[in-house]
A and B are shown apart, each in its own frame.
Chain A
Amino acid sequence: MGILIVDDSKAMRMIVTRTIRQAGYDDRELHEADNGVSGLAAVIEHRPELVLSDWNMPEMGGLEFLQQLRDRGDDVPFGFVTSEGSAEMRGLAARHGAAFLIAKPFGPDDFRSVIAAALR
């Protein structure tokens, strides 16, 4: 259980972790992966209650990662945390089954409500 953070940047994984804690989720177990391929393995290993994924990553990006999860019948709540927050990308994310998209830069308030809704 817990929250899986998938981002190819170690620095960004640390900042997402810090922000989740600041948003009040300091009791949640946090897991990390650095792209979609290792994210798929981490979902199997940890069975997270929420996945937070970057969009643009080497090997397997976030959209393909989400698609592969859904193709496997895995409906784990999934949100993007990405540097690109255009309306087009938000629409694309939603059509693929993402619950939300948080655009970088972000703060604890950006995480608080969407995580609460996703974990409800």
Chain B
Amino acid sequence: MTLSPDDVRTLTESTWRSLVADEPVNPAPSVAPVPAAVSSCVHISGEWDGAVTVTCVPSLARDMAETMLGLDAGDARPEDVDDAFGELVNIIGGGLKSLLPGTSTLSLPTVASGDALVFPGSELVMEQAFGVRGEQLVVRVHQRTPDRDSITPTDHSPGGPPWEY
């Protein structure tokens, strides 16, 4: 079985509804660059090797965390935002992992600055943008290329300066 764009769309929409709010998460026809982006990431290791990332502007990540944690605007601490944003990719990545064949493990989520995180030894196999609260949320799936043994959490290279929520 391979992952389809529909899998990514369905999982992202249901995860957003469950974690944040019952509001539209509209698939976008194309992906635009996300300025000063923050990305969360999980790795899947096993018969299928790769990584799943979620990227958006820091203000959307903070807004999401405040909704999830029931905080007033501006009250989320950076560690709260990392936690909530990490959980978003954890659930999307875990759901995608469940659709993959064979045995594999899911890493704990990490959060880094940068729009298109680079994973040496992998190729971008899927990319879907969503319109959320007037901003863009991008989900990407990277798969290890056959000539590499693995990609590891230390392989990814954040592409920008430290972010501020």
Judged by DSSP, the binding face of A is loop
- Give the complex CA separation of A42 and B144 in angstroms: 40
Interface size of A as a range: 20 to 34
B80 proximal to A (CB < 8 A): yes
A53 interface residue (CB < 8 Å to B): no
Question: Does A27 sit within 8 A of B, measured CB to CB?
Answer: no
Judged by DSSP, the binding face of B is helix
Distance to closest chain A CB from B53 (angstroms):
15
A10 CA / B79 CA spacing, docked (Å): 10
A83–B80 alpha-carbon span in the complex (Å): 19
1/0 per residue, CB under 8 A from B, across A5-17: the answer is: 0001111101100
With A56-B106, A84-B97 as given contacts, are A14 and B19 in contact (CB-CB < 8 Å)?
A: no
Report the interface size for chain B: residues with CB under 8 A from the other chain: 24
Interface residue A88 (Cβ < 8 Å from any Cβ of B): yes
A104-B80 contact given A10-B69, A15-B68, A83-B93, CB 8 Å threshold = no
Q: Mark B57-69, 1 if CB is under 8 A from A, else 0.
A: 0000000010011
Per the bound structure, the CA–CA distance linking A84 and B102 in Å amounts to 13
Within 8 A of B (CB), among A1-51: 8-12, 14-15
B residues near A, CB below 8 A? Answer: 14-15, 17-19, 65, 68-70, 80, 83-84, 86-87, 90-91, 93-95, 97-98, 103, 106, 108
Using a CB–CB cutoff of 8 Å, the interface residues on chain A facing chain B are 8-12, 14-15, 56-58, 82-86, 88-89, 103-107
> Given A15-B19, A105-B95, list of 15 further CB < 8 A pairs?
A9-B87, A11-B84, A14-B68, A14-B69, A15-B18, A15-B68, A83-B95, A84-B95, A85-B95, A89-B98, A103-B94, A103-B95, A104-B15, A104-B18, A105-B14
29 A-B residue pairs with Cβ-Cβ distance under 8 Å, sorted by A, are A8-B108, A9-B84, A9-B87, A9-B90, A10-B69, A11-B19, A11-B68, A11-B69, A11-B80, A11-B87, A12-B87, A14-B70, A15-B19, A15-B68, A56-B90, A56-B94, A56-B106, A56-B108, A83-B90, A83-B91, A84-B94, A84-B95, A84-B97, A89-B98, A103-B98, A104-B15, A104-B18, A105-B19, A106-B18
